[in-house]
Amino acid sequence: MTESRPARKQIHLAAHFPGVNSTTVWADPRSGSQIDFSSFEHLARTAERGLFDFFFLAEGLRLREHAGRVHDLDVVGRPESITVLNALAAVTDRLGLAATVNATFNEPYELARRLASLDHLSGGRAAWNVVTSSDAFTGENFRRGGFLDRADRYTRAAEALATVRELWDSWPAGGERRRFAHDGPQFRIEGEVTVERPPQGHPVVIQAGDSAEGREFAASAADVIFSRHSEPEAGRAFYADVKGRLARYGRRPEELKILPAVTYVLGDTEAEARERAALISRQQVSPQNAILTLEQVWGRDLSAYDPDGPFPETDPDPESTLVQGRVRVADPFAVAARWRALSEAKGLSIRETVIEATGRHSFVGTPASVAAALEEHVATGAADGFILVPHLTPGGLDDFVDRVVPLLQERGVFRTEYTGTTLRSHLGLPAPVWKAGTP
C-alpha cells in the first residue's frame, strides 16, 4: 500500500496531574505547588486549551513508607480527587474529569452518589478510575482494615461497579425514582438513590490494573484502560491481548480505549531534546533516590552505599517489608540481575544505572518528530491515545499544547474543536444501555 491511509485513526489525549512519584520533578525552580488549587486550575485549563479528552487524578490512601517512616524523597500529599474535580468543573467547560477512587475502601452507594454528583455538576464530564489496592497497610486508615484478600480484589471491584451501575440506572432523569435492591456475595443493599441518572447515563469507567484478572475486568466492564505499556512492542502486545478479550463480552474493539501513561521531552532539535531529557532524568533520580530505588528492588537497607560508586554484591530479600504502599516489584531477582549486568557492561555507577534503567522518557524529540511518533504509535496498534504525565507542576503541559497539538491537528489525527459536551462524546463511546432495576 503506497497511498496514505484514508481516514487516519484519531488520537485521544489525557493529562495526568504530576503526581506522588519520582517522575515529578520538584527541585526545579519552575516547580510550583502540588496542592494549591491554582496549580490544578492551570493544568486543567491548559489541557482544555489543548482540546484534551480528560484530566486525570491519581489516588493513594496511605502515604508511602520506607523502613517504617513516611517516604520523603518524592512529592508527598495531594487533595482528594472528586472534590478537586468538582471545583475544576467550575473553571472548565468541556474537559473530562477523571477521579481515581478505590473500590476496596469505598461502598457502592457512596461511590454512585459522589460520581453521579460530579457528572451532574460538570454537565456530563465525569470518569471513575476503578483501582483495587487491598493491602492491610492501607487498610489501617479504614474501619474495616485489611479485610479483603488480594485474590478477591477484582471480585469486589466487579461487583462494586455492577452495583454502582444499577444505582445509576435506578432514577431515570425526569422519571420515577425506583427502589433498588442488590443481593450479591459482596454487597446486600437496598433503598433509593438521591440523585437522578447522570447526564452521561454512566460516567466513563477507567481501569488501571495489569494482571490477567485486571485485564479481564477491563474487557468486561471498562471504557478506558490506563496502561503502563508505553513502549511500542509491549504496547502492541498489551493492546492485542486486551482487545482480544472483548468479543467474549459481546463488545467491539472500539468500545474500550487503551491509553498508556507516557512522558515526553521537547527540544528545538533532536540533540537539544536529548540533552534536556538527560537533565530531567538526573533531576528525577537524585543521589538519594538512586539508593532508594535500589532498596525498593532489593528490599534491604543500602544506605551505606555510595550512589556514585559500584553496585552492591548482596541479593534481594524477597520477603522484605521495607517498602509499603507501592506496587511490589514482581521478580526482584530478575530486576537485580538485569541492572547489575547493565552496570557491569557499561561501567555505570549506581545512580547512572538507575537513570539508564528507569529514567526513560517515552517520547523525546522536536515537536514534529514527537507528533509523528505519537501518530505512528496509534496507527500501528500500540494505543488509542495517551495519558501524558508531565514532570512539572503546573507548567509541564504548556509546551505540548502550544507546539505538539497543532501538529497533530495538521496531520489530521486530533480534533480541532470539541464536537460534543460530554466525555463519552469526546471518546466516541456509545451511550450505556439503560437497565431497569430488579424490584
Partner 1 sequence: MTRAHPYRPLHLAAEIAPGAVGTRAAADAVALARIGEEAGLDFLTHDDSFSRPGLDALAVLSRVAPATRSIGLVPTVTTTHTEPFHVQAAVATLDWVSRGRAGWRVEVSRGAAEAALFGRRAAPPTAALWQEAGEVAEVARRLWDSWEDDAEIRDVPTGRFIDRDKLHHVDFQGSVFSVKGPSIVPRPPQGHPVVVVDATRPEARETAARHADVALIRAASPEEAAGLRAELHRAARAHGRDPELLRVLLSVPAGLPGLPGHSDPSGHSDPFGHSGPSGDSDLADPAALAERIAAWHGGGAVDGLHLVPADPARDLPRFAAGTVAALRGRGLFRTAYAGTTLRDHLGLPRPVSQYAPKGADA
Ligand X SMILES: Cc1cc2nc3c(=O)[nH]c(=O)nc-3n(C[C@H](O)[C@H](O)[C@H](O)COP(=O)(O)O)c2cc1C
Q: Bridge-partner residues for 388, per DSSP?
A: 15, 262
Going by C-alpha positions, the residue among 86, 115, 125 that lies closest to residue 193 is 115
Going by C-alpha positions, the residue among 410, 390, 411 that lies closest to residue 399 is 390
Choices 181-189, 208-216, 326-334, 359-367; region in contact with partner 1 by CB under 8 A: 181-189
From the number of C-beta atoms within 10 Å of its C-beta (0-12, 13-18, 19+), residue 271 rates as: exposed
Give residue 144's Cα distance to chain centre.
26
Q: Which of 86, 343, 393, 422 contacts partner 1 by CB under 8 A? A: 86
Applying CB under 8 A, does 334 fall inside the site for partner 1?
Answer: no
Specify the residue for cell string 518528530: 369
Applying CB under 8 A, does 249 fall inside the site for partner 1?
Answer: no
Choices 105-113, 244-252, 335-343, 351-359; region in contact with partner 1 by CB under 8 A: 105-113
Applying CB under 8 A, does 91 fall inside the site for partner 1?
Answer: yes
Applying CB under 6 A, does 230 fall inside the site for ligand X?
Answer: no
- Please state whether beta strands 65-66 and 69-70 pair in parallel, antiparallel, or not at all (unpaired): antiparallel
Applying CB under 8 A, does 243 fall inside the site for partner 1?
Answer: no
Q: Which of 86, 92, 133, 263 contacts ligand X by CB under 6 A? A: 133
Applying CB under 6 A, does 258 fall inside the site for ligand X?
Answer: no
CB of 131 to partner 1, least distance (A): 14
Applying CB under 6 A, does 86 fall inside the site for ligand X?
Answer: no
CB of 112 to partner 1, least distance (A): 10
Applying CB under 8 A, does 149 fall inside the site for partner 1?
Answer: no
Choices 42-50, 85-93, 210-218, 392-400; region in contact with ligand X by CB under 6 A: 210-218
Q: Which of 93, 140, 344, 376 contacts partner 1 by CB under 8 A? A: 140
Phi and psi for 386 in degrees, rounded to 5?
A: -145, 145
CA distance 204 to 424: 7
Cell, residue 382? 500500540
CA distance 15 to 41: 12
Q: 109 and 164 in contact (C-beta within 8 Å)? A: no
Q: Which of ligand X, partner 1, none does 210 bind, CB closer than 5 to 8 A by kind? A: ligand X
With respect to ligand X, which residue has the nearer C-beta, 46 or 102?
Answer: 102
Q: Could you list the beta-strand ranges (E) of 36-169.
A: 54-57, 65-66, 69-70, 96-102, 126-131
Q: How many residues bind ligand X (CB under 6 A)?
A: 18
Q: DSSP per residue over 285-313, as a string? A: S-HHHHHHHHHHHH-S--TTS-TTSPPP-
Q: Bridge-partner residues for 181, per DSSP?
A: 190
Radius of gyration in angstroms for the set of CA atoms belonging to the chain, rounded to a whole number: 22
Specify the residue for cell string 482494615: 145
Encoded one letter per residue, x for contact with ligand X by CB under 6 A and - for no contact, window 291-330 reads ------------------------------------x---
Q: Which of 8, 10, 41, 59 contacts ligand X by CB under 6 A? A: 59
- Provide the terminal-to-terminal Cα distance of the chain, rounded to the nearest Å: 57
Applying CB under 6 A, does 263 fall inside the site for ligand X?
Answer: no
Q: Which of 43, 82, 148, 383 contacts partner 1 by CB under 8 A? A: 82
Cell, residue 52? 484534551
Q: Which residues of the shown chain bind ligand X in the complex (CB under 6 A)? A: 58-60, 100, 102, 131-133, 208-211, 213-214, 226, 228, 261, 327
Q: Which residues of the shown chain bind partner 1 in the complex (CB under 8 A)? A: 26-27, 35-37, 40-41, 60-63, 69-70, 72-80, 82-84, 86-91, 105-107, 109-110, 113-114, 116-118, 120-121, 123-124, 140-143, 171, 173, 177, 187-192, 194-196, 199, 286-289
